Amino acid sequence: MRVLITGGAGFIGANFTHQTVRERPDVRVTVLDALTYAGDVKSLVPVADHVTLVRGSIADEPLVDRLVGESDVVVHFAAESHNDNSLNDPSPFVQTNLVGTFTLLEAVRKHGVRFHHISTDEVYGDLELNDPAKFTPETPYNPSSPYSSTKAGSDLLVRAWVRSFGVQATISNCSNNYGPYQHVEKFIPRQITNLIDGVRPKLYGAGLNVRDWIHVEDHNTAVWAIIDKGRIGETYLIGADGEKNNLEVVQTLLEVFGRDADDFDHVADRPGHDMRYAIDASRLRDELGWEPRFTDFRSGLEATVDWYREHESWWRPRKAAVEAKYAKTGQ
Binding site for ligand DAU (CB under 6 A): 81-83, 120-122, 175-176, 186-187, 190, 202-204, 209, 211, 246, 270, 277
What is the full DSSP assignment across 226-289?
A: HHHHPPTT-EEEE--S-EEEHHHHHHHHHHHTT--TT--EEEPPPTT---B--B--HHHHHHH-
Cβ 202 to ligand DAU shortest distance, Å: 4
Return the number of the residue (19 or 149) whose C-beta is nearest ligand DAU: 149
Q: Which does 214 bind (CB under 5 to 8 A by kind): ligand DAU, ligand NAD, none?
A: none
Cβ 251 to ligand NAD shortest distance, Å: 21
Q: Which does 283 bind (CB under 5 to 8 A by kind): ligand DAU, ligand NAD, none?
A: none
Reference 112, options 31, 168, 171, 30; nearest CA is 168
Contact between 237 and ligand NAD per CB under 6 A: no
Identify whether the C-beta of residue 210 lies closer than 8 Å to the C-beta of residue 269: no
The C-alpha atoms of residue 158 and residue 298 are separated, in whole angstroms, by: 36
Q: Which does 251 bind (CB under 5 to 8 A by kind): ligand DAU, ligand NAD, none?
A: none
Kindly tell me which residue out of 12, 75, 107, 195 binds ligand NAD, with binding defined by CB under 6 A: 12
The C-alpha atoms of residue 167 and residue 180 are separated, in whole angstroms, by: 33
Cβ 286 to ligand NAD shortest distance, Å: 21
Q: Which does 158 bind (CB under 5 to 8 A by kind): ligand NAD, ligand DAU, none?
A: none
- From its phi and psi, is residue 174 left (phi > 0), alpha (psi between -120 and 50) or beta? beta
Contact between 295 and ligand NAD per CB under 6 A: no
Beta partners for 308?
A: none
Return the number of the residue (259 or 305) whose C-beta is nearest ligand NAD: 305
What radius of gyration, in Å, describes the C-alpha atoms of the chain?
A: 19
Contact between 34 and ligand NAD per CB under 6 A: yes
Return the number of the residue (41 or 259) whose C-beta is nearest ligand NAD: 41
Q: Which does 246 bind (CB under 5 to 8 A by kind): ligand DAU, ligand NAD, none?
A: ligand DAU
Contact between 284 and ligand NAD per CB under 6 A: no
Identify whether the C-beta of residue 203 lies closer than 8 Å to the C-beta of residue 250: yes
The C-alpha atoms of residue 104 and residue 111 are separated, in whole angstroms, by: 11
The C-alpha atoms of residue 227 and residue 169 are separated, in whole angstroms, by: 9
Contact between 7 and ligand NAD per CB under 6 A: yes
Identify whether the C-beta of residue 253 lies closer than 8 Å to the C-beta of residue 201: yes
The C-alpha atoms of residue 7 and residue 320 are separated, in whole angstroms, by: 24
Kindly tell me which residue out of 18, 134, 183, 283 binds ligand NAD, with binding defined by CB under 6 A: 183
Contact between 33 and ligand NAD per CB under 6 A: yes
- From its phi and psi, is residue 83 left (phi > 0), alpha (psi between -120 and 50) or beta? alpha
Catalytic residue ranges: 121-122, 147
Binders of ligand NAD among residues 77 to 116 (CB under 6 A) are: 77-81, 96, 100
Identify whether the C-beta of residue 152 lies closer than 8 Å to the C-beta of residue 123: yes
Residues in contact with ligand NAD by CB under 6 A are 6-7, 9-13, 32-36, 38-39, 57-59, 77-81, 96, 100, 118, 120, 151, 174, 176-177, 183
